[in-house]
Copies of this chain bind each other. A is one copy, B any other.
C-alpha cells in the first residue's frame, strides 16, 4: 500500500504541476463533443459518447509511461519498487482519476449536447465508471509494450483495439438500452466482469512489458 500511495501521490502531483495536462482528457472529450456536434449535426446515439470517452481514455493512456521512460524514472521504479505491482496500480489509479473519472462525471453534459435527451444518463455515467478503469488498464498494457519503441502514440490505440472492443460493446449497448428504457443488468454485469478480469491480469502484463522495455 505504501508503494501504491507513493506512486499515486507523485503522479497526481506531476499532473497538477502541469495543470492543463490534467484537464486535457476532459478537454478532449468536450472538444470531440463539439466537433461531432458541428460536423454531424443531427442527433446522435448515446453510443457515440461512449466512443468519445474511449478515445479520450486511450489517447491519454498512451503516454502514461513515456515521460517516465525518457527521464529515467521508470528505470528507477523498476529497480526499486518491490513488488512492482502496487506501484503500477498507483500510477494507473492516478491516471484514471484524471482521465476516466472526470469524463464519466461530465458525460451527462455531452449526452445532452449530442443526443438532446436526458433519459438513461444515469446508466451512461455508471457504465463509464465501470468501463473506463478497464480501458485504462488495458491501454496501459499497450502503452508499456510500446515504451521501448520511443513512440507509442496511435500505435497503442491500434494494439489494444481488440481489447477495447468488448468493453465498448457492452458499455455502448447498455447506454443505448437505457435510453430506450430497456433492461441493462446483463451488460452491467458483463462490464463488471471485464473490469475484474483486467484488474487481475493487466498489472502483471504491464510489469512484464515494462521490464522488457528496458532491455535492448
Contacts and interface: CB of A to CB of B under 8 A. Distances in A.
Interface of A: 18, 20-21, 24-25, 27-28, 31-32, 34-36, 38-42, 44-45, 47-48, 50-51, 54-55, 59-60, 63, 70, 149-151, 153-155, 157-158, 161, 164-165, 168-169, 172, 176
A47 to B, nearest CB: 4
Given A70-B70, A151-B21, A51 B28 contact: no
A169 B63 CA distance: 31
A24 B168 contact: no
Contact of A36 (B18, B34, B51, B155): B51
B28 A157 contact: yes
A216 to B, nearest CB: 16
B51 A47 contact: no
21 contacts: A18-B150, A18-B151, A20-B151, A20-B155, A20-B158, A21-B151, A21-B153, A27-B155, A27-B157, A27-B158, A31-B158, A35-B55, A35-B164, A35-B165, A35-B168, A38-B165, A39-B47, A39-B48, A40-B47, A41-B45, A44-B44
A60 B154 contact: yes
A110 B50 CA distance: 20
A201 to B, nearest CB: 22
A159 to B, nearest CB: 9
A28 B169 contact: no
A35 B54 contact: yes
